[in-house]
Structures are given as structure tokens and as C-alpha cells.
Structure 1
């Protein structure tokens, strides 16, 4: 998990750095040359955090990396799981998000991943699964609200999230406009799915 994809990018180090310092105010317009990777988004919840990075590998392919971390009682964040998905050019990831009309809605869940928290006994909740993933949001969405936390959405509209799915009700994230007013709720999982990919 803590592998180095190329010099300068070690997931555990970069995810902790992002949590400690927050998302940079200015992101590179594209990847290449000195900029081989870039943080995209950050979500910090109740002892769970999710980060997303755009990455250019050694053969020129672009990737979207999403990582989930848990926090110990002492406050240290530990990288627990992650996914890497092949992506288009870096401009597709770093470019400003499109309007809802072009995105066919205000947002979509591109798929979520579940992790078995019992296997490593690394999270003290009486639940079996935690889930994480990325949502793609339209230009009209200025923030999202999940489990009582409001997160400002980066200009590119990609937001990493992490949560403990409910087996009794649908897990959704609330989308807010640029003034903080509710737009709609975006389903992340169906009741009982426990974090299986959202369609």
C-alpha cells in the first residue's frame, strides 16, 4: 500500500501531509515535467479520512488514486486501503467541473469501495464495513454535506468521501449550491449494500 509510484509520491506520506496542511489553494493546470502528481480533494470525518490524487506514471499514463485512512485514539492517521483507476489526460481531472447540463445532473457517484473493518480490527465501530470513493459534481455545486460535515468542493468537482454505510437506510451526500443552499441528495449506497458500488 505504501508503495512509491515514482520519486516524490508515497501514498502514506502524501495523505498524511494533505490531512495536516489541507488542500492547496492552487493546483497545477496539468501534470508533466515537475508536476507528476497533484492532490485533488480531502475529506476528514469521524476518525475516517479520504483523499484523492491525480498521478502521471513513468510511462505517461494518468491515474486517479483514492485512499482511505483511519485515526487512532492518539490522533495518528494510518493509510488503510486505496484504489487506482486509469484516467484520461490530466486536464480531465484538473479542469473546472462542467455545468449540470453537460454532466447530466448535479453529481454522480462513480463507484464506491468497501473495506472489511473486522479483518484487521483497526476501527472500533460495531459495524463490519466502511466505504470510500469519489463523487463527480457539477459547477453549480459549491459544497457537500456528509454526516454533519460541510466540505467545500474543489473547482474541478471531484470529491473523495468516506463513511460507515447504514444497513437500515440509504447513504447519501447532500449537495449545496455556491451560496450553501441545498440542491439535492446524491445516493452513495442502497440500504444493506454496505458500500458496494453505486450505480
Structure 2
């Protein structure tokens, strides 16, 4: 078994992303794994399938502890035809980069969606395209090579903060229910 350095993990995730709509982008703290909406090979599929949200998995690595955190970022993306100024060639421009975002969500987000497109042929509806999106697919492209290289996952700060607010909200709900039960039992409601 290799020492599983952060560079090895980046290379393993990049290998998992080959020939898929995902792209691994190295960062100072780890890497991002996202759907490459700039790649024209996948652009038509994304646009034709009505994909408006793209998931980016932001991975922060702690090489000394051999731990990683995954923060999911959902961006509203609209693929528009445009032209690069230097070369004048067409490209797809994601609205998340070139235009103000309509929606952006951070945290641990699991999303599954499917879409089937029908067309008419000789007056009868026929399926002409299917597309399924599962954010777990991106997680697996990170988690499988990480486990093979000896890395473990821990909750990111956004996920930990959400858990704290969930616990606080649950405690408040229990306190309200307790007060209501007490009021009902004593007739002071």
C-alpha cells in the first residue's frame, strides 16, 4: 500500500473522472470535483437534459491527519452559447461564473433527479432521451480512491454548523411541546 499522499489522491480522483462529465481541479487546500460544463462533449447533454443545477464537491485535505472533508456546492447553471474574445471560438458559459447566481447552496447535499424526454413519431409519443443525475456518483468518485489510499472523511464546518442548529431547533421544539403538554395537563393552556 502506498503512503496515500494528497497528490496521489488527486491523481486517483482525476483518473476516476476521466471520460465522464466530471473534472478534478486542484486547489491550495485539496481539490474540487465538478461537472465540466465547459466541455462541449457534455454541454449538449446537460443543456438538452434541462440540467440547471450542477454539483461541485469541494474537498479539503489534511495530509498530516490523512482526513478529508467534502462540502457540496449546488450552483444554478445555464449553458449559453458564447464566444471567447481571444480565439473567437464558441464555448459554453456557465451562469455561475459569468452572471449573478440565482441559487447557491452549501453543505452536505444529496440530490437525485431523472428526466425523460418524449417526442412524437407518426403521432405516437416515444422516449427520445433519458438523463439521471445522482450527486452520490461524485461522492463515490472521491470516497472510493480515498479509502483505497487510507484517507478518512470527517464532517466539514458547514455540516457541523447545520447539525448544531438542528440540535438547537429540536431542543426548542421539545421545550414548546413540553410547555404545551404542561399547559394542557394543568388547564392553563
TM-score w.r.t. the length of structure 1 is: 0.28
TM-score (structure 2 length as normaliser): 0.29
Larger radius of gyration: 2
Tell me which protein shows more strand as a share of its residues.
1
More helix by share: 2
